[in-house]
Amino acid sequence: MIFIPRDDPFTCEHCSHAVEPLKKGTCRSHCPKCLWSKHVDHEPGDRASSCHGMMEPVMLDQSGKKGFVIIHKCTKCNIEKRNKAAPDDDLTIILFN
């Protein structure tokens, strides 16, 4: 598995929030405000997918001691992916939905 860290700033295509890259640690795969993601990777960071569908945050899971994991579902191809939540994610969007 090839791992390419992704730390470019980007504009969220769901809520138009200007997303800043994380200072350290894992690459940012989703918007911290609305938690939507985009289907661009086969493996995290590789940008090998040609789907480019928007990925809706459908569930929150707790992964042992590692913290929260967000389950994203692609609105285009229906694939589900697990993404580790970032420290500044607004998880209340899923918790109180």
Binding site for Zn ion (CB under 5 A): 12, 14-15, 17, 31, 33-34, 39, 51, 53, 74, 76-77
**DSSP per residue, the chain:** ---------EE-TTT--EEPPPSSSSPP-B-TTT--EE---SSTT----S---EEEEEEEEE-GGG-EEEEEEETTT--EEEEEPPTT--THHHHT-
CB of 41 to Zn ion, least distance (A): 10
Q: Which CB, 10 or 64, lies closer to Zn ion?
A: 10
Q: Which CB, 31 or 70, lies closer to Zn ion?
A: 31
Largest CA distance in the chain: 36
CB of 45 to Zn ion, least distance (A): 16
Q: Which CB, 4 or 15, lies closer to Zn ion?
A: 15
CB of 64 to Zn ion, least distance (A): 27
CB of 61 to Zn ion, least distance (A): 20
